[in-house]
Amino acid sequence: MSGLFERLRHELKEMQERGVYKQLIHLDSPQDAVVKIDETGAEVVNLCSNNYLGLCNTPEVVAAGRDAYEEFGAGTSSVRFICGTFTLHKKLEQKIASFLGLESALTYVSCWNANTGLTPTFLEDEDALISDELNHASIIDGVRMTKANRKIYKHSDMGELEQALKDTQSARHRFIITDGIFSMEGDICRLPDILELAEKYDAVVAVDDSHATGVLGETGRGTPEHYGLHGKVPVITSTLGKALGGAAGGFTAGPEELTDYLTQRSRPMLFSNALPPATTAHSLAAIEYLERHPERVQKLRDNTAYFREELLEAGFKPVEGDTPIVPIIIGETAEAIRMSRMLLDEGVFVIGFGYPVVPHGTARIRCQISAAHETEHLDAVLDAMKKVGDKLGIV
Ligand SMILES: Cc1ncc(COP(=O)(O)O)c(C=O)c1O
């Protein structure tokens, strides 16, 4: 057998021995506040889904997907520009644009594709691309693929961002890209400062709002709404795979000339199929549901505040913030994975994240709160966390 596969087997064994091997856990129920674990049959409180608004399993949302199967069949069987664009895609894209207060939107099968299909498409050698060091992996890959002068600034360090802008004044275009909510820390980007610097140094800003869409702002319109800047960020990318139904899909929203250009040239757009009809329809239904039910966003905020307060009360030290991403730093990857296994035994499903998802020595348990949780779910989680935290000497 090829030495390649032998090497892979050896490395996998090593991961298992070091306790850093990621064991996939199979769910035998829909995403919700409580899920059923296939391996054990246990029903456990789900604390690691991006189902922030609980829409994955909301009947109106699911029904819209089912209706689309009936009307449009299983799939597009083509990329968008050949014959893979349905009326449903147009409706969803118009809805996304109006929801975000932007001119237009273009959907992809994932936000991964939206991000990797963004800057490589229109930035060239004479341009500059400036990115926060803690941006999501899909942005990082997009940056790697972009032929421009690339600058990475220290996380949310506005001094370094300004320096990067000064250093690139001779570039044809300067483009800044940042997460809205940073996925591993749960903190929010310093959007007002970023926009001010962009204005001063003539740069375009793009925000990946994957963890903030449906989450931040009074009505869930994301990081711009949170800061009173709704419609003021030129380019937004985001996912449909978290708060907005949670299946899959992503988009880039912004000026018409941007989305039109991406339609002409963006490689994931040109060479990969469109969103399936059911996913397109239920994503549209999810946004419409959110527009009718802004109280879901309030419930998410209330749950988050309750959980964070109680966690502090119990002696844990979560990374500070007020978003539903609540990380507790443990240190070593094997320890974080061990803690998550112990919590699973206590009826709480929460994942331990370690290297290479986060830097060495900063492995963590990342709790994620949802509007689907009731206080009793959060209380059960807190009890289990106290018990396991005690055993591990964390609290
Ligand atoms: C900030 C951010 N951007 C992009 C993505 C990718 O989204 P998708 O699952 O739609 O590819 C994620 C998913 O984890 C994310 O957290």
Domains of the chain, start order = 20-49+294-392 (3.90.1150.10), 59-292 (3.40.640.10)
Tell me: the pLDDT tens digits for 291-340?
Answer: 999 999 999 999 999 999 999 999 999 999 999 999 999 999 889 999 99
Tell me: the pLDDT tens digits for 225-243?
Answer: 999 999 999 999 999 999 9
| Bridge pairing between strands 363-368 and 128-132 | unpaired
Cα separation, 251 vs 90, whole angstroms: 12
In the annotation, is 156 catalytic?
no
Catalytic residue among 95, 136, 211, 282: 211
**Mean pLDDT of the residues in the chain:** 97
CB–CB of 234/204 below 8 Å?
yes
Cα separation, 322 vs 326, whole angstroms: 8
- The pLDDT of residue 355 is 87
Output the residue whose Cα is nearest ligand 1's atom 15.
210
3-state SS of the chain is CCHHHHHHHHHHHHHHHHCCCCCCCCECCCCCCEEEECCCCCEEEECCCCCCCCHHHCHHHHHHHHHHHHHHCCCCCCECCCCCCCHHHHHHHHHHHHHHCCCEEEEECCHHHHHHCCHHHHCCCCCEEEEECCCCHHHHHHHHCCCCEEEEECCCCHHHHHHHHHHCCCCCCEEEEEECECCCCCCECCHHHHHHHHHHCCEEEEEECCCCCCCCCCCCCCHHHHCCCCCCCCEEEEECCCCCCCCCCEEEEECHHHHHHHHHHCHHHHHCECCCHHHHHHHHHHHHHHHHCCHHHHHHHHHHHHHHHHHHHCCCCCCCCCCCEEEEEEECHHHHHHHHHHHHHCCEECCEECCCCCCCCCEEEEEECCCCCCHHHHHHHHHHHHHHHHHHCCC
In the annotation, is 166 catalytic?
no
Output the residue whose Cα is nearest ligand 1's atom 13.
210
Instruction: Give the position, in ligand 1's atom list, of the atom nearest the Cα of 180.
Output: 1
- The pLDDT of residue 184 is 93
Tens-digit pLDDT profile for the chain (395 aa)? 689 999 999 999 999 998 889 889 999 999 999 999 999 999 999 999 999 999 999 999 999 999 999 999 999 999 999 999 999 999 999 999 999 999 999 999 999 999 999 999 999 999 999 999 999 999 999 999 999 999 999 999 999 999 999 999 999 999 999 999 999 999 999 999 999 999 999 999 999 999 999 999 999 999 999 999 999 999 999 999 999 999 999 999 999 999 999 999 999 999 999 999 999 999 999 999 999 999 999 999 999 999 999 999 999 999 999 999 999 999 998 899 999 999 999 999 999 998 888 988 999 999 999 999 999 999 999 999 999 999 999 88
Residues near ligand 1 (Cβ within 6 A) = 110-112, 115, 136, 138, 179, 183, 208, 210-211, 239, 241, 250
Cα separation, 222 vs 239, whole angstroms: 12
In the annotation, is 230 catalytic?
no
3-state SS of 23-40 is CCCCECCCCCCEEEECCC
- Identify the CA nearest to 53 among candidates 235, 240, 207, 317: 240
Q: Which residue(s) pair with 363 in the sheet?
A: 331
